[in-house]
Chain A
Amino acid sequence: MPLLDVKDLSVTFSRRGQRTVRAVDGVSFAVEAGEVVGLVGESGCGKSVTSLALMGLLPKQKGVTIGGSAMFGDTDLLQTDERSMRDIRGRDVAMIFQDPLSSLNPVVPIGIQVTEVLTRHRGLTGEAARKEAVELLNRVGIPDPSRRLKEYPHQLSGGMRQRALIAMAVACAPKLLIADEPTTALDVTIQAQILELLRELVRESGTALIMITHDLGVVAGMCDKVNVLYAGRVIESARRKPLFADPRHPYTNGLLGSVPRLDSGKGERLHAIRGSVRDVLPWPDGCAFAPRCDQRVEACVGEPPALVEDIHRHAYRCVNPESRTAEVPS
């Protein structure tokens, strides 16, 4: 049984007088223990809303409807009430956000914020908690941890803040870590440090990681399995190597062609996808990507394409997929 089994997750936002938005529209994926799973997509594809729904962090108010299931062991994360969710968050499932500054409390020293987690979930207090906090900061590579404990978030650099946030996330050795664009706000060399830290944590502690990102390069270097999202649905899902070597969905293929690569020369035109993410067809009317797709055929319109899976467990939602180009490494 997988560690986390998300089935048919959907999130809709409706407001009086406005069109209902299906931000997530039937997303299914599974995460095995110790595995790194990527959710990739551009703005508005539903990747962040998916993570917020799993963490129970979407506002519980009229107009927000969550459907489907997300089985984490025996509990359905989507059906859990706020009180038990507070116990699960931080202890079993933890999250790292894009902007470390706004996810830390600006007026509370780092040390207190870290020990708070330890007190809440592991019952550590006083000197024991302090010692453990120092140990944690040391583990995520924050130099001179006992001194850092007394500092406020604004006194740390962006990279150090993200490390502090990671320290809080792994404080209770969670089984699952969700990282939402953890390096987008950071410089390239700092990004490399943080990614390396995440790799180490996964390797050493066996934590499973859901990596949410728009950066295909980050995915290529980290993830075991990759789910590509478009307009709220998974449009392609495969293990890392087959996905990059042999993308079947024209959108995935287009994304790969859009990214300038260090190892390609000047003058080669990028293979851009036309239009913008605003030009979507509503899923019930056909494939949402059809208006931007170079490969579209008549069958693309009328009904949404189903997710088909080939023998290599490479799944894609397309009626006219890219032809196979390479021999697939298993």
Chain B
Amino acid sequence: MSTKTDKIDRLSELSAAKEDEHGVSLWTEALRRVRRTPSALVGVGILVIFVLVAIVGPWLVPYSPSELMGINEVRPGVIPGPSAEHWLGYDHNGRDQFSRLIVGARQTLLVGIVSTLIGLTLGALVGGIAGAAAGLGGRIGRAVDSVLMRIVDMLLALPSLLLAVSIAALLGASLTTVMIAVGVVSVPVFARLLRGAMVVQAGSDYVLASTSLGVKRTKIAVSHILPNSLAPVIVQATLTLATAIIEAAALSFLGLGNPDSATPEWGLMLADAQQYLDVRPGLAIFPALGIIITALGFTLLGEAMREALDPKLRK
């Protein structure tokens, strides 16, 4: 064969395949796309800092967050502001505000993660069962789905704050209450989302293809329908982390959180600061900023993931 025809063959091979390269799965592809989105990188940056602070913060802070070191300088109408030693000044009990802010990140992150996990686990469980039953289960399956989804609908119909307040009333005010309340509120969202995605996937051609291959229905549900329905749930979980932190702060603010203010938490700090807004607005501004920036980080990442995972946007 001549060199020129050789060249053509090489060129066409090049355009067709890179033999030694491994296949790229959709998850890898999505990750690649997230990495290429600037807003996602900003979100990730914020979250990395937040998580680092939450983990190592307590060892870095200059003072103990619970030590009432400046209690003598706090008088009605006077709370000492920032100084060289206390960067953000004291809080209303004379504790170092900067230390409290840093240490509070851990509690805040904990509230966000735990409550999202509660919502995700329960929601995915209910939604997964309902979705699998609706998608594959014939008449009985549809009945199971119907019952589960009506329960979820009832949960959804309750105002979330009312639900949280009732749970708090049942369990008493504590950080655990806040986490459970915020978690339970997000259960219907996850359940509906996963079920909806699964029902759509159950009607797709590749599920029909697997059925016609003779694959068992349970296997189809677990290995085809579920993995292909997870993308929106993962995105929602990221976004829920943001709202959970805000909601938890709101509940703490309403006095449903941990009554013991020795362990700082941003929502609680905000709640405490409200009485001193006219004296030292900084007490409220910094925890509020912390909450907003963290929530923004999760939201940016979540939105970027939504775009990366959306099959409609895929080329």
**Chain A residues within CB distance 8 Å of chain B:** 275, 278-281, 285-286, 290-292, 296, 298, 300-302
Contact = CB atoms under 8 A, between A and B. Distances in A.
Instruction: Please classify the interface of chain B as helix (H, G, I), strand (E, B), loop, or mixed, using the class held by over half of its residues.
Output: helix
Contacts of A301: 4-5, 7-8
A275 B2 CA distance: 21
| Closest CB pairs A-B (n = 3) | A291-B12, A301-B4, A298-B4
Contact of B12 (A281, A298, A300, A302): A281
Interface string B1-30: 010110111011001100000000000000
A296 B8 CA distance: 10
Contacts, number: 32
A42 B8 CA distance: 22
Given A280-B15, A296-B8, A302-B4, 6 more contacts: A275-B16, A279-B15, A281-B11, A291-B11, A292-B12, A300-B8
Contact of A281 (B2, B8, B16): B8
A67 B171 CA distance: 72
B212 to A, nearest CB: 26
B2 A298 contact: yes
Interface of B: 2, 4-5, 7-9, 11-12, 15-16
Nearest to A297: B5
A279 B2 contact: no
Contacts of A278: 15-16
Contacts of B4: 298, 300-302
Contacts of B7: 301
Nearest to A282: B11
A291 B4 CA distance: 11
A296 B16 contact: no
B14 to A, nearest CB: 10
A291 B2 CA distance: 14
A293 to B, nearest CB: 9
A279 B4 CA distance: 17
18 contacts: A275-B12, A278-B16, A279-B12, A279-B16, A280-B15, A281-B11, A285-B11, A290-B8, A291-B9, A291-B11, A292-B12, A296-B5, A296-B8, A298-B5, A300-B4, A301-B4, A301-B7, A302-B4
Contacts of A281: 8, 11-12
Contacts of A296: 5, 8
A320 to B, nearest CB: 12
A327 to B, nearest CB: 34
B255 to A, nearest CB: 49
A298 to B, nearest CB: 5
Nearest to B6: A301
A280 B15 CA distance: 8
A291 to B, nearest CB: 4
A254 to B, nearest CB: 16
A281 B15 CA distance: 9
A302 to B, nearest CB: 7
A285 B12 CA distance: 12
Nearest to A291: B12
